[in-house]
Amino acid sequence: MDLVRHLQYFVAVAEHRHFGRAATTLGLTQPPVSQGLRRLETHLGLRLIERARDGAMVTAEGAALLPRARLIIEDSRRFLDDAADLLGALHVLRWGATPQLDDEVVARCVDGLRRAMTPAGAPVRTVTADTVQLVSDVRRGVLQLAVVEHPTLVDGVIAGPVVTLNRSVVLPAGHRAAKAKSPRAQMLSDLELATVPREANPAGYDLLLDSLRRRGLDVVIRPAATHRDVSAAVASGGCFGMATGGAPVHTGTVHRRMLVDEVAMRVRIVATAGLDLDHLVYAVDRELLRASR
């Protein structure tokens, strides 16, 4: 039985006190309304309306249930309205990026998304947050998609393939590793590592530290969420950090290609389940692949 539809029949008859007028307001003829109300009463085992030759009267049981019936109908309308709003929200895309991506990569992704949106050129809203927060926001539908660090837990979302982005090691300009012709990992032993804190993505954090330990580096972490934070920490002389290819080289810092496999950044696109976002995921994936070359 279509409960909401039959409740609409009940409410209409109760309000108009007449089957014919109720049917007119519903855009129906009288027989379907009368039959539907009888099915509802049979299902409930209660008489809701007393039928009379000149109209209809609400019974005591019907009067008691009438407010609840109105609420159910109104909630169903709100549910459909909210669904329509969510569908319409795709005309304003909300997406996120981990702060470890440089500004140029993010800008390319935004441009690709804007061109892939329907209608073309629809607004794109960008959120920068750590990987754990981004996955949570995509899972809850706050964001439609995001670029996050790999590995990380991706339960409850659609996860795309992993893309590897090369990163340089950011060094203080006067440091021995910055001046060496062939810098070695052990040269960084007197520096702290400026990088995102563990809570931003525990799996990725642990993997990075394990990789550096295998190269003889047991580093102390100085939290640095963005490339600006990394550059400021490195320029102070006591840290090294990492930067993707499009990140600018700031005063007091040097970018060197070393520890290539250890510091490479692996990312993937996560998207909200149940939405048709393939064309948008493709647009971002294309820009990430370009940045990886």
The pLDDT tens digits of the residues spanning 3-47 come to 888 999 999 999 888 988 888 888 888 888 889 999 999 999 999
In terms of Cβ atoms closer than 10 Å to its own Cβ (0-12, 13-18, 19+), residue 104 is: middle
Fold topology of 167-263:
D-Maltodextrin-Binding Protein; domain 2 (3.40.190)
Q: Which of 12-21, 120-129, 172-181 has the lowest mean pLDDT?
A: 120-129
On the question of pLDDT at 86 being above 80, the answer is no
Q: What is the mean pLDDT of residues 246-258?
A: 95
Distance CA 25, CA 28 (A): 8
Distance CA 94, CA 275 (A): 13
Q: Which of 74-78, 113-117, 143-147, 246-250 has the lowest mean pLDDT?
A: 74-78
On the question of pLDDT at 206 being above 90, the answer is yes
On the question of pLDDT at 83 being above 70, the answer is no
Residue with tokens 């309306």: 49
On the question of pLDDT at 85 being above 60, the answer is no
CATH number of the structural domain 90-158+269-292:
3.40.190.10
| pLDDT at site 25 | 81
Band (82; pLDDT cuts 50, 70, 90):
low
Q: What is the mean pLDDT of residues 255-264?
A: 96
Residue with tokens 């794109």: 124
Distance CA 290, CA 75 (A): 47
Comparing 90-158+269-292 with 167-263, is the CATH topology the same? yes
Domain boundaries, the chain: 3-88, 90-158+269-292, 167-263
Q: Which of 2-11, 90-99, 190-199, 231-240 has the lowest mean pLDDT?
A: 90-99
Mean pLDDT over each residue of the chain, to the nearest integer: 91
| pLDDT at site 131 | 96
Domain 3-88 has CATH 2.70.98.40: no
**3-state percent helix, strand, coil for the chain, nearest multiple of 5:** 50, 20, 30
On the question of pLDDT at 94 being above 70, the answer is yes
Distance CA 277, CA 271 (A): 7
| pLDDT at site 61 | 93
Band (210; pLDDT cuts 50, 70, 90):
very high
Band (99; pLDDT cuts 50, 70, 90):
very high
Enter the pTM of the model: 0.69
On the question of pLDDT at 64 being above 90, the answer is yes
| pLDDT at site 153 | 94
Torsion of CA 95, 101, 103, 104, to 10 degrees: -100
On the question of pLDDT at 216 being above 90, the answer is yes
Band (287; pLDDT cuts 50, 70, 90):
very high
